[in-house]
Chain A
Amino acid sequence: MYSFDIERPTTLEDAVEALKDEEAQALAGGQTLIPTLKQRLAAPERLISLTSIPELKGVSAKDGWITIGAATTHAEVAKSVSAYPALAALAGQIGDPAVRNRGTIGGTLANNDPAACYSAAALASGAVIQTNTREIAAADYFLGMFETALEEGEIIIQVRFPIPEVASYQKFAQPASRFALVGVFVAKFADGVRVAVTGAAEEGVFRWSEAEAALDSSLAPESIDALEADDDGLIADIHGTAAYRAHLIKVLARRAISAMS
């Protein structure tokens, strides 16, 4: 690691102010950033820790929405998001217990790893990402592998999820990293079904709209029997070919739908 200073502000205003400096970078759970710093792939002069700011932590439920502070750990979400069980279950399957005790929802969404779990939940739920300057709909937020709509110095404050009637996340874990080789999140709302896929595509999380259309008419595993996920643009690597990932998308979508009915 190159040398840097760490600041630990206790208010959001101080953090926002500190992050105006181009040489400063936010530090949340560090589960992605610390390995990146060790590889010298990042060289900030200052890290601004977001984990001592009470406003950025905690979970609340109101009027059919769950609000999660950006610095809330995966372990907290797994434990306390009882009003949205599929989301709590997803958080409880991220990495391992020690990773869940440090890693945060804000860090995951800001990083936008193409295999991250929360991105599938955010996109399938139609979540809203609230930053220090604006609200961003999940549909406009994920811009490709490790790319998001966040501007320089903009920080996520909280993420709001509308609670679906029923939902399920099914993950096929990559055996070494425990990230999703493919993960599929299916959520049913009064106005329709959304299916989001993570881990599979070069461009990161995406919606499988053919499956959504089929499921809108009938939420049953058989509804997607006639469909095949397109393998164009899917990741092909040592862990699996594009065709293999396309196959997994359908298998996991079927499992999710079965779990919902």
Chain B
Amino acid sequence: MTKISISVNGESKSAEVEDRTLLSHFLRENLGLTGTHIGCDTSQCGACLVHVDGLAVKSCTMFAVEADGTDVRTIEGMANADGSLSKIQAAFQEHHGLQCGFCTPGMVMSAAALLKENPDPSEEDIREYLEGNICRCTGYHNIVKAIQAAAAA
């Protein structure tokens, strides 16, 4: 067991965890932040994607103890301060960028990481960046549209 302290969505969280605890499990089970989904648990689908010190990371493929001392952001930390949807989230809603919604937290986190790196991405840039995010419902088309709209907003 190891004691860790992580800033999650701006709030400091401390806990005693087994060393083998994945960051995804820590977020969902210790903190109850179930917006971070676990789809494949094999580093393929991106449903578990969060930001660690600003970088996109698959939380099913990182140990919670490795996130000790970092700043983690999850989908629960994406809305605006007044609780309204951020421009990326609003664009997903507006452009039907989701159907079942399972992949959506990961898609939004990926989109946010992309727009930080590249505020004006081409369609190709977006599709390439989403290589590690799998969606079984939408066919990606409206996800790409939503991200383009968020970039233009």
Name A's B-contacting residues (CB within 8 A): 1-6, 8, 30-31, 34-35, 37-38, 47, 49, 51, 75, 95-99, 101-102, 178
Q: Are A102 and B132 in contact (CB under 8 A)?
A: no
From known contacts A30-B61, A34-B43, infer whether A3 and B20 are also in contact, taking CB-CB under 8 Å: yes
Identify which of A5, A38, A101 contacts B57 (C-beta below 8 A). A101
Q: Are A97 and B63 in contact (CB under 8 A)?
A: no
Q: Are A31 and B43 in contact (CB under 8 A)?
A: yes
Q: In the complex the two chains form, what is the Cα distance from A115 to B103 in whole Å?
A: 28
Residues of B contacting A102 in the complex (Cβ-Cβ under 8 angstroms): 57-58, 61-62
What residue of chain A has the Cβ atom nearest to residue B65's Cβ?
A6
Q: Are B132 and A35 in contact (CB under 8 A)?
A: no
Identify which of A34, A37, A38 contacts B62 (C-beta below 8 A). A34
Q: In the complex the two chains form, what is the Cα distance from A102 to B63 in whole Å?
A: 12
CB contacts between A and B, total, < 8 Å: 70
Residues of B contacting A35 in the complex (Cβ-Cβ under 8 angstroms): 42-43, 61
Q: How many residues of B contact A (CB 8 A)?
A: 27
Identify which of B20, B61, B110, B132 contacts A4 (C-beta below 8 A). B20
Name B's A-contacting residues (CB within 8 A): 2, 18-20, 22, 41-43, 46, 49, 55-58, 61-63, 65-66, 68, 110, 113-114, 129, 131-133
Identify which of A47, A97, A178 contacts B56 (C-beta below 8 A). A97
30 CB-based A-B contacts, threshold 8 Å: A2-B20, A3-B18, A4-B19, A6-B2, A6-B63, A6-B65, A6-B66, A30-B62, A31-B43, A31-B61, A34-B43, A34-B61, A34-B63, A35-B42, A35-B43, A37-B20, A38-B41, A51-B66, A75-B55, A96-B46, A96-B132, A97-B56, A97-B110, A98-B49, A98-B56, A98-B132, A102-B57, A102-B61, A178-B131, A178-B132
From known contacts A35-B43, A38-B41, A178-B131, infer whether A98 and B57 are also in contact, taking CB-CB under 8 Å: yes
Residues of A contacting B61 in the complex (Cβ-Cβ under 8 angstroms): 30-31, 34-35, 102
Residues of A contacting B18 in the complex (Cβ-Cβ under 8 angstroms): 3
Q: In the complex the two chains form, what is the Cα distance from A28 to B131 in whole Å?
A: 22
Q: In the complex the two chains form, what is the Cα distance from A4 to B19 in whole Å?
A: 7
Distance between B105 CB and nearest chain A CB, rounded to angstroms? 13
Top 3 A-B pairs ranked by shortest CB distance?
A: A96-B132, A96-B131, A6-B19
Residues of B contacting A1 in the complex (Cβ-Cβ under 8 angstroms): 20
Distance between B18 CB and nearest chain A CB, rounded to angstroms? 7
Q: In the complex the two chains form, what is the Cα distance from A234 to B61 in whole Å?
A: 31
Q: Are A49 and B113 in contact (CB under 8 A)?
A: no
Distance between A177 CB and nearest chain B CB, rounded to angstroms? 8
| Contacts beyond the supplied A35-B61, A75-B55, A95-B132: 8 A-B pairs with Cβ under 8 Å | A5-B19, A6-B65, A31-B43, A34-B22, A98-B56, A99-B43, A101-B56, A178-B132
What residue of chain B has the Cβ atom nearest to residue A92's Cβ?
B128
Distance between B6 CB and nearest chain A CB, rounded to angstroms? 14
Q: In the complex the two chains form, what is the Cα distance from A123 to B41 in whole Å?
A: 33
Residues of A contacting B133 in the complex (Cβ-Cβ under 8 angstroms): 96
Distance between A98 CB and nearest chain B CB, rounded to angstroms? 5
Q: Are A49 and B66 in contact (CB under 8 A)?
A: yes
What residue of chain A has the Cβ atom nearest to residue B41's Cβ?
A38
Q: In the complex the two chains form, what is the Cα distance from A95 to B131 in whole Å?
A: 8
Residues of A contacting B46 in the complex (Cβ-Cβ under 8 angstroms): 96, 98
| Most B Cβ at <10 Å: residue of A35, A47, A99 | A99
Q: In the complex the two chains form, what is the Cα distance from A101 to B18 in whole Å?
A: 24
